[in-house]
Amino acid sequence: MLTIGNYVKAKTPEEAYELNQARSSRIMGGMMWMRLSNARVKTLIDISGLGLDQIEETEDEIRIGAMCTLRQIEQSEAVKKLCGDGIEEAVRHIVGVQFRNQATVGGSIYGRFGFSDVLTAFLALDTYVELYDGGRICLAEFAKKKPDNDLLLFIVVKKKKRQFRYDSIRQTKTDFPVIACSVSREKANGQETWYFAVGARPMKADMIEKKWSVAKDASLEKIEEYAALAAAEFKYGTNMRGSAGYRQHLAKVLIKREIMSILSEEI
Amino acid sequence: MEIQFVLNDKQVKAEVGADTILLNVLRDLGCKSVKCGCETTNCGLCTVWINGKSRLSCSVLAASIEGESVTTLEGVEKEAAQFGEFLADEGAEQCGFCSPGFIMNVLAMARELQNPTLDEIKEYLAGNLCRCTGYMGQLRAIKKYIEVKNAEKKGGKEE
């Protein structure tokens, strides 16, 4: 059961950060997972008044406030323009609309949950997080860090021309994924780079990149070979939703489908 | 602490603790349509609208809704009754326990989506669980309700 001593609605990021330095303080996101936790929180810090609930688009990046809801990124035209249907696909399976109207992007990213579709999706994009104290660091690096008392302000996606796909397997609708994979391809200065992120392994998502030149008319066998190579670079675990071997098999299948989908796209 | 917010278009006050959940405050204020089901954000029984968006009141801290606007089924009785007739026509209710949260989300969907497909309806309502009906009657009721609402909007009111 979660018990909370004091509730404070922070007026500035500085106030939120200072309050969060106490060991028994916590920042409040959408409260979806914290509510289910067994914890005694002395001070709960509400950052909903800090204007972090907007998606801003500039010439070279999309800046998503930490308090934007999953529903906002699902419906954002700017996100759709950059990522196609990939982000929508990543979040549309998460419980229901009411849940997604409440769960925040910051909560998902900061939590670095093993089951997170959101983290898996953003890892295959050129994504950074902006922290109050830690400044801007790339998401892959942030995902590997241990949770600390910093304050997540923004998730920033660079507007690089990446073809992006997301797919997951669930045993039942609205459940956590058994496996989740996102794949993207970037072509710059004659160099082709593929990014593969696999989440719900069931450990938290990780990302690898490969300088592969995959021919548009590559055979199915060749694509399966690439998919197997990529899937084999991740570690998998076993839990009630699936064994490590099954997860690796599914990762290979999803990555294959995503590579095929990217290759078939006219650019 | 004392909070003030708008509940079904009326300004209300409530004395809450730092960890009081909105669902309990709403029931204490007489909105008994708001039910506690799973308490794990999965079932949708506790669905209310906060500033017009459907949310799960079992996971909203009461303290955080200071100054906000909350709508429960009691605040949209006329619309709910209209949709309820479609549910009745299709034999789409059994125990009825899920209905308040379900209806709140259907009405939110009808406002948000102009002419949803069956897949879009299923996806929108994925967070509302019903253990009795199997959903088929409810889906028929929603399709017919939306058809009638759309016809009304166009000015060609159907029987």
Kindly state whether A30 is in contact with chain B, defined as any CB-CB distance less than 8 angstroms: yes
Same fold, A55-158 and A163-263: no
Nearest CA in chain B to A98: B55
pLDDT band, very low/low/confident/very high, at B156 (cuts 50, 70, 90): low
- What counts of helices (H) and strands (E) characterise chain A? 10, 12
Tell which residue, A34, A72, A68, has the closest CA to residue A51: A68
DSSP string, A208-265: EEE-----TT--HHHHHHHHHHHHHTS----BTTB-HHHHHHHHHHHHHHHHHHHHTS
Q: What are A223's two structure tokens?
A: 């694509």
Question: Positive or negative, the Cα torsion across A100, A104, A107, A112?
Answer: positive
Contact assignment for A7 to B123 by CB distance below 8 Å: no
Which residues in chain A come in under a pLDDT of 50? none
Nearest CB to B123 within list A35, A92, A99: A92
B-chain residues near A46 (CB < 8 A): 61, 63-64
- Specify which residues A129 forms β-bridges with: A137, A155
Count of beta carbons in the 10 Å neighbourhood of residue B143: 16
Tell me if chain B has a CB within 8 Å of the CB of A96. Answer: yes
Residues B7, B14: Cα–Cα separation, whole Å:
11
A176 vs A215: CA distance, rounded Å: 34
Residue of B nearest to A91 (CA): B123
Nearest to B59 among A4, A35, A44 (CB): A35
Return the CATH architecture of domain A163-263.
2-Layer Sandwich (3.30)
% residues pLDDT > 70 (chain B) = 97
Tens digits of residue pLDDT in B1-31: 999 999 999 999 999 999 999 999 999 999 9
Q: CA A203 to CA A171: how far, in whole Å?
A: 18
Classified by CATH at the fold level, domain A55-158 comes out as 3.30.465
CA B75, CA B9: separation in Å to the nearest integer?
8
To the question of domain A2-46 being in CATH 3.30.43, the answer is yes
Residue B63: closest C-alpha in chain A: A7
pLDDT at B157 over 80: no
| Residue from B3, B42, B49, B64 whose CB has the most chain A CBs within 10 Å, to mutate | B64
Neighbours of A60 (CB within 10 A): 9
Check residues A31 and B49 and name the one with the higher pLDDT: B49
pLDDT value at residue B159? 46
Residue of B nearest to A40 (CA): B19
pLDDT for res A115: 92
Chain centroid to Cα B52, Å, comes to 11
Q: Which of residues 186-205 of A touch B (CB under 8 A)?
A: none
Spell out the domains of chain B, with CATH numbers in brackets.
Answer: 2-74 (3.10.20.30), 75-154 (1.10.150.120)
Least CB–CB distance from B19: residue in A4, A98, A99: A4
Listed in sequence order, the residues at least 6 apart from B43 whose beta carbon sits closer than 8 Å to its beta carbon are: B37, B98, B101, B127, B128, B129
Quick check: bond before B100 cis, omega within 30? no
Residue B134's pLDDT is: 87
Q: Where are the domains of chain A?
A: 2-46, 55-158, 163-263
Q: Do B18 and A4 touch (CB under 8 A)?
A: yes
Task: List, in sequence order, every residue forming a beta bridge with B2; answer none if it has no partner.
Answer: B15
Residues A35/A4, Cβ–Cβ less than 8 Å: no
Chain B partners of A92 at a C-beta cutoff of 8 Å? 123
**pLDDT value of position B133:** 87
Per the structure block, which two tokens stand in for A186?
A: 């970037």
Please determine, for residue B60, whether its predicted confidence score (pLDDT) is greater than 80. Answer: yes
**Burial class of residue B69 in the structure, from the number of CB atoms within 10 Å of its CB (0-12 exposed, 13-18 middle, 19+ buried):** middle
Q: What is d(CA A106, CA A183) in angstroms, rounded to the nearest whole number?
A: 22
3-class secondary-structure state, position A118: helix
Residue type, A39: A
Locate the chain B residue with the closest alpha carbon to A49. Answer: B64
Cross-chain residue pair A98–B44, CB shorter than 8 Å: yes
Residue B126's SS3 state is coil
Q: How confident is the model at residue B158 (pLDDT cuts 50, 70, 90)?
A: very low
The order of strands in the sheet holding A206-210 is: A162-169, A179-188, A191-199, A206-210
Is A7–B1 a contact, with Cβ atoms under 8 angstroms apart? Answer: yes
pLDDT in tens, A62-108: 999 999 999 999 999 999 999 999 999 999 999 999 999 999 999 99
Tell me the per-residue pLDDT of B132-150, one tens digit each, with 9 for 90 and over. Answer: 988 999 999 999 999 998 8
**What residues form DSSP beta bridges with A4?**
A41
Considering CB atoms only, which of A36, A96, A173 is closest to B44? Answer: A96
